[in-house]
Amino acid sequence: MMRPLLLLPEMLLAGGALAALIGGSFVPRHRQWIIRIFTALVLVTTIVTAAIQLRSPATSAFDDSFAVDTATGIARILAASGTLLILAIATDEISASARESETYALLLFSTAGTVLLAGANDLLALAVGFLLASIPLYALIGLAHTRAGAEAAMKTYLMGALFGILLLLGVTILSGLTGATGYAELADRLADTPQAAVTVAAVAVIAGLMFKAGGVPAHFWVPDAAQATTATAATFLTTVPKIGALLAVYRLATVLPPSSWPLLVAALAAASMTLGNLAAYWQSDPRRLLGWSTVSQVGFLLVPVVAVGRSDLALPSLLVYLTGYTATNIAAFAVSAALPEHRDLADYRGLAAQRPWLAAALLVALLGLVGTPPTTVFIGKLTTATAAWDGGYAWLAVVVFANSVLSLFYYLRWITPTYRHAGDTSAVESRLSGRRWSARLAVSAAALSLVAGLAAGPLWHVVSR
């Protein structure tokens, strides 16, 4: 059955993106806020629609090529909510700029691709979602209009092209081996195909999806893009696309033969965690530090995928972690957006004396990324490590806890100057005055991370349906 209305959230995002792109051409620059309000309304409508559909039993659309279940529903809500929060940064940063409406259109297009990735139940839908989520990112990064931004956009494009080809190669091999593209058919037929070829295909597809997630081995573009592009684009690219990419890896893992992927995903998880943490330790630019932190967080988020089919905690723990990461990462980037001229960790010296709420938001966000209770990320790390342990990967659970402790040290390099006394804090005051929306977002997102952690019981009940 086709049942197109089941894809109403995706249609709202894609239709809204097209309307924002065309409508922005007819709206004067000083009235581009109209397109921003329209974008916000589209995102709010998407969230409400997804929440309503989340209450319905799991089903599928377009001949089982798109799954409409709890995972898709949570992904829709998280992706749309994350983009909605990021609009606050855009309000400060690109208001009345030459490319304001185009930025909103690109955000909506990429969000649509993200949710399509999250629900893809067919290799062709997976490929379409990958392209729709990726192509707008190249333009978003390039909108910085700087030499570093152009370099980051080119690097992202080349990496995306390479790993996109790898993903399509894996899709071609899997469909060629089985004569099918639907996940249901793949699950039935892959067991009777040459396992060496299946393993090659699994490596190619998962490596391609790691580009969207920003994890090893396709992570090289993330720190450069986070540092060089606008705060709006940096916050988006390190948060929203990961939701779709990681759920796409999860769905693919449910249909691949167990011999072809668990060790690969475990190795990628350990490598992303460790490499991201070690590289972040030496960074002095806060956004580049957060870029490497993102690489590390992808490693943690991959851990429950290893336990697919072996632990009932796998999917709920992944969804809880994604919920916490979305709010916490946005809070951290919002602090850097509120202080755009503070491009060195030492610049944050004395922030707590001038802006205690902003400093508190930074403290909550960074300790949240470590996995400190009672934040949502703490619940996510605890349950993902438990899922790995239950799934027979006790060593991976140990790696999770070791890397959590390791990450504390480089986050402290940012927290420490924030709470040190500075003789002259007037510079902090003057630089903060024009970024009120970003500051408010930082406090709100940090509070949301705490609230979701304290309400972990109801949240777990929702994601476990």
At residue 342, φ and ψ (nearest 5 deg) are -90, 85
> In this predicted structure, what is the pLDDT of residue 422?
67
Taking the C-alpha atoms of residue 165 and residue 209, their distance in angstroms, rounded to an integer, is 11
pLDDT per position as a tens digit, 267-302? 999 999 999 999 999 999 999 999 999 999 999 999
* pLDDT for residue 435: 83
For the stretch 14-28, pLDDT in tens is 999 999 999 988 888
pLDDT at 407 exceeding the cut of 90: yes
What mean pLDDT do residues 90-108 have?
Answer: 90
- Residue 374, pLDDT > 70, answer yes
> How many whole angstroms separate alpha carbon 245 and alpha carbon 298?
10
- Tell me: the pLDDT tens digits for 187-202? 999 988 999 999 999 9
Q: Torsion-angle region of residue 179: left (phi > 0), alpha (psi -120 to 50) or beta?
A: left
* Burial profile 355-381: b = 16 or more Cβ within 10 angstroms, e = fewer: beebbbbbbbbbbbbbbbeebbbbbbb
Average pLDDT over residues 212-239: 95
pLDDT at 99: 86
Residue 434 is predicted with a pLDDT of 53
Q: Is residue 341 within 8 Å of 289, Cβ to Cβ?
A: no
Per-residue pLDDT at 226: 96
Express as a percent the part of the chain with pLDDT over 70.
Answer: 97
Please report the sign of the dihedral spanned by the C-alpha atoms of residue 329, residue 331, residue 336, residue 337.
Answer: positive
Q: What is the pTM of this model?
A: 0.95
Compute the distance between CA of residue 89 and CA of residue 337 in angstroms, rounded to an integer.
7
Residue 63: its pLDDT value, please?
A: 86
| Exposed / middle / buried, residue 153 (Cβ in 10 Å: 0-12, 13-18, 19+) | buried
The pLDDT assigned to 423 comes to 59
Return the sign of the alpha-carbon dihedral for residues 275, 391, 326, 59.
Answer: positive
Q: Is residue 215 left, alpha or beta, with left meaning phi > 0 and alpha meaning psi from -120 to 50?
A: beta
* Cβ contacts of 299 within 8 Å, gap of 6 or more: 215, 216, 268, 269, 270, 271, 272, 273, 274, 276, 403
* Confidence grade of residue 91 (pLDDT, cut at 50, 70, 90): very high
Q: Is 256 helix (H, G, I), strand (E, B) or coil?
A: coil
**Which amino acid would we find at residue 312?**
D
* pLDDT number for residue 192: 87
**Cβ atoms within 10 A of the Cβ of 331, count?**
27
pLDDT of 161 over the 70 cut? yes
User: Once rounded to an integer, what is the mean pLDDT over residues 54-68?
Assistant: 91
pLDDT of residue 428: 47
Conformation bin of residue 96: beta by default, left when phi > 0, alpha when psi is -120 to 50: left
CA distances from 242 to 77, 116, 289, 372, 435 (A): 14, 12, 18, 22, 27
* pLDDT tens profile 424-448: 555 445 444 558 899 999 999 999 9
Q: How far apart are CA 376 and CA 11, in angstroms?
A: 30
Q: In the predicted model, what is the mean pLDDT of the chain?
A: 93
Residue 220 has phi, psi (to 5 degrees) of -60, -30
Q: Which of 271-275, 326-330, 455-459 has the lowest mean pLDDT?
A: 455-459
Amino acid at 335: V
